[in-house]
Structure 1
Amino acid sequence: MTTLHDKPLALVTGGARGIGRAIAERLCADGFAVVVLDRERDAGAACAAELSRQGYRASFEFVDLSDHASLGALVERLPAPSVLVNNAGIFDNKDLFAIESRDFARMMDVNVTALFLLSQAAAKRMKPGGKIVNIASRAYLGAKGHAHYVASKAAVVGLTRAMALELLPQGIMVNAVAPGGVETEMVARQSPEARAALLALQPTGALGKPADIANAVAFFASPKTDFIYGQVLVVDGGKSLGGVAV
């Protein structure tokens, strides 16, 4: 893999596309070497290649978050990270009574258990000043139509706070960013009616951009935030201020 030792290393899960790619780009611009972790081999390799073409230090590693046994070994074979961004996750729209136990278990396995295992492995190797940034969702405040997803993101918030307390003596800071509606490929695939309904809930009348989330992650990854532990920064264009539980 690309030699990364001369720059602080950031690991970004789900870094091949959308919010994850914007995070990888921003952290590269901020002086980090970045390893893009993703299950999409072609997209992940293309992202790392493009960043390298721009003169940044970047590489790609395949990861399957559902394969829990592989996660610790993945972190062990990479250089010790300065930053871990747990961005990857899954989402599913299902009515409360349509959610089966296997749906709930899969959501928690990928969105929570994998995040915990990667954080645990990374924290064992981080030096003081290390940062873990978890991508939650404003849905942790409550939402309809995907209770299992809401539960998983509420768990991410709880884990963020618990890990922040436990890792504080090591000088490792753990925080979370909770995005609202963001322009991604998944949103672009929605029907015009669904998109209109989503936009109607936005005080700004527009969705956020992946770069808006990347900027928040860069804030937590910066050495300037060394006195911030266990916080959740909601980046939703003011949507949560209206108390809309959707």
Structure 2
Amino acid sequence: MDSEFSDILKQGYVKIRRRHFWISQGCWLVFKKASGKGSNRLERYPNEQASNFHCQQKARLSSQDGHMKNKSSRYNVIDLTDVFSISRPPKEKKKYAVLLRFTDDNTLTFTCDSEKEAADWHKVLHRACVQDELGTVSSGEPDLLASSLRHQCERFRVCLLPCKGLVMSGECVLQVGSKAISLWDARNPRLKLASWPLMWLRRFGRDRTWFTFEAGRLCETGEGFFKFQTLEGEAIYQKVHTAVQSIIQQQDCPPRIVEGHI
């Protein structure tokens, strides 16, 4: 039974609403960390009693017969594998709220009973789903998944010029992944500053001393231009170009992103 509860990083009563639905419904939300039982995920129950009953019964059935499935408790699971940003909406628009954005353009918003509870949810979710997305290599056996992800992504030292979409500027690290461009703190490589899904970029370009792109309105920073001083502009451009072409081929859709000099 203990193993069922040990995966829980955060739980509590919230009001949750999916995109395109304007009715919020109260539920007991449980955030479980990635483990052998699955990836980072949110489990939604009608109340706390249903959550505890599910964990207890699952542990009991598992010990009796590993192939038995628990069908008596009602809950659903929200996979957080494709979450690319977790933020707090402006308080004047949504009080005590947490907003999750997924790479497939879906969003998930839930509200808490207090500012402290909302801040706690944001901190725990952001740390597990955003900051730790590349994983870490422990002092023991190597993390093969994290190693594989690092080979798929490449990071570049750049200098972000002041812009409207971000409050910070100056030296930082730009990472080009298979689905998004991410910006990391230069002094704390595990602190993500922003992320832009490639499918939501409007255009991107480069020159000998810079790389720049225009983000669409669905990005967490909102629409706008972001310019970076770098001597690796061509290398960044080619990485982004390759990733964008891969997305276009996988989705079998016409290109919407303009490449070149902007």
TM-score interval, normalised by the smaller of the two chains: under 0.3
Could you say which structure has the greater relative contact order, defined with CA pairs below 8 angstroms and 6 or more residues apart?
A: 1
Higher alpha-carbon Rg: 2
- TM-score, normalised on structure 1? 0.26
Larger strand percent? 2
TM-score normalised by length of structure 2: 0.25
